[in-house]
Amino acid sequence: MMKFAATAAVAAFCGCAAVKDAREAQEAARPAGDGVPGEAANVYLGGETLDGLVAYALANRPSMVAARLAVEDARLALREIAADAPLVSSTPWNAVGADVSMSYSEQSRTAHFDDMKWKTRRGKPSATLSLDVLIWDFGRNAARARAQAENVVAAEQNLAKAGCAVFDEVASCHFALLQNEALAEVAASNVQMCAEHLVQEEDRFELGESRSLDVLRARLDLARAAEAAVLASNDVVTAGANLMAALGIDASSGGFREVLGPRRESLDRVTRVFPSTDETAADAFAFARTNSPAVQVARAKLRAASAQVDYAIANLGPSLSAAVSLNWTDPLWYWRWSVGAAQSLFTGWRKTTDVDRARVALESASAALGTEEQTLSRSLELAIAERDNAAESLATAAESVRQASENLETVAAQHEVGDASRIDYADAITSYAEALGNRVKAFYRGQIAEARIIELTGREPGFANEQITGGDIR
């Protein structure tokens, strides 16, 4: 009896670590009480560059945590399949299954119906130790293992795909925030120029050099500029909230200005995070077909579907197994062994239908791969077209800024001496503000397009962080 107790103790010990980890996970996942405020996260990312923000998001976004757990689950499923390997395999030690059972029972003595005194015999303990060995399964386990190994690859590539998506989202939100902050600076500058213009018109009106209508129009221009500044400020708040969500930071950490800190970019100083590229859509697609995580997921699923066909075919064959058991019932014991083969003769065409379904799943996976490649090709063409268009727009906008600045200086000087009308001055202010805004938009459009190309091709992003100032923004 001590041998059986020792065996049971060993079996129980083997599961202790797994049980401990499971209990810790249950405790960590326990939700906070309803209505109980949690502690503030106290996250501060002030001064972080885009690569730092991306690294933070990759470590903390719930989607990334879920993708990592999916990889772990796929690996555990592969381990589970390996535990069912037959004796004739690369892991024969997994073919043996051991079970132990112990019991104690008592029964009443045999008696006539009219002599029921419920007297019992002495109780008898019993125990059984059994070993079951799968000798050969005609390739079922090997096919399942190949399919699950490809599922592991798919989960790993899906993790990479999720990381690329997080990178693209954080980069896009980051550049959108910088763009909106720059546009807010443009709007504020426009308000200042409109205010200066209003002061000039009021001074000229007092000197009798302008009409009251000119003053009213100048006030209207200032009001419109102030309204545009308010809208630009709202766009900044929206972009900041989007970036916070992309980073995986909730509102308990404070506003985006408290979390992200002061922004260093301005109209005259920006950072080109990603260097400009010039590859064609065809070259990018040729690289992405073998490196894009999305395509790699589809390829892994295709290989897994092919392995499932092998399993469905192998499942048509028989299986060979052996069993050994030791039984003890006080005071007797005995052991037995057996070898058996099993083959299903007719299962209502279920197994042959499984083969057909596996074939259909294989063809579907092949079609899904083709669809994924077509989607990737189109997305790359659009992203590269956007990159090229943004580059052309930036070059044009940079020249427009220079000309609009010269025009504003000229008109302002002429307006001082009365050679230019109020309308000319207002138009010059508006043109300069629009040129600045167009340059900002074109610059960040190009950066967003470069990030999108990196995400689609599956390349490792290279953060250049090139500082650009003044007229070099092109």
Cα–Cα dist 395/428, whole Å: 21
Establish how many alpha carbons lie within 13 A of residue 338's alpha carbon, considering only the half-sphere containing its beta carbon. Answer: 8
Q: Does 103 map to a domain?
A: no
Q: What is the DSSP string of 22-79?
A: HHHHHHHTPPPPTTPPPPP-----TT--HHHHHHHHHHH-HHHHHHHHHHHHHHHHHH
Tell me the C-alpha to C-alpha distance, in Å, between residue 318 and each of 135, 137, 147, 152, 343: 11, 7, 21, 28, 4
How far is residue 95 CA from its own chain's centroid?
38
Q: Does 120 map to a domain?
A: no
- Torsions phi, psi for 134 (to 5 deg): -90, 115
Enclosing H/E stretch for 337: strand 332-342
Domain with residue 167: its CATH number is: 1.20.1600.10
Report the pLDDT value the prediction gives residue 471, as an integer from 0 to 100. 64
- Torsions phi, psi for 6 (to 5 deg): -65, -40
Q: Which domain holds residue 378?
A: 41-91+138-317+347-472
Q: What is the dihedral of CA 141, 147, 152, 157, to 10 degrees?
A: 170
Cα–Cα dist 3/271, whole Å: 73
Report the pLDDT value the prediction gives residue 251, as an integer from 0 to 100. 75
Mean pLDDT, 10 residues at a time, the chain of 474 residues: 47 59 62 48 72 91 93 94 86 83 77 58 80 87 93 96 95 92 87 85 77 82 90 92 90 78 73 90 94 95 95 89 83 81 78 91 95 96 96 91 88 76 79 87 93 94 82 67
Q: Does 72 map to a domain?
A: yes
Report the pLDDT value the prediction gives residue 30, as an integer from 0 to 100. 58
Report the pLDDT value the prediction gives residue 67, as an integer from 0 to 100. 95
Domain count, the chain: 1
Report the pLDDT value the prediction gives residue 297, as an integer from 0 to 100. 96
For 24, counting Cβ atoms within 10 Å of its Cβ (0-12 exposed, 13-18 middle, 19+ buried), the class is: exposed
- The closest of 138, 7, 18, 149 to 79, measured between CA atoms, is 149
Q: At what angle do helices 140-206 and 422-457 cross, to 10 degrees?
A: 170
Report the pLDDT value the prediction gives residue 57, as an integer from 0 to 100. 93
- The closest of 276, 287, 290 to 449, measured between CA atoms, is 276
Q: Does 17 map to a domain?
A: no
- The closest of 361, 321, 313 to 337, measured between CA atoms, is 321
Q: Does 250 map to a domain?
A: yes
Report the pLDDT value the prediction gives residue 474, as an integer from 0 to 100. 65
Cα–Cα dist 411/200, whole Å: 14
pLDDT tens digits, one per residue of 343-371: 777 777 888 899 999 999 999 999 999 99
pTM attached to this predicted model = 0.80
Report the pLDDT value the prediction gives residue 1, as an integer from 0 to 100. 44
**Would you say 104 and 125 are in contact if contact means Cβ atoms under 8 Å apart?**
yes
Q: Does 1 map to a domain?
A: no
Give the other-Cβ count within 10 Å of 377's Cβ: 17
Tell me the C-alpha to C-alpha distance, in Å, between residue 154 and each of 147, 181, 203: 10, 40, 72
Q: Does 428 map to a domain?
A: yes
Q: Does 130 map to a domain?
A: no
Cα–Cα dist 374/383, whole Å: 14
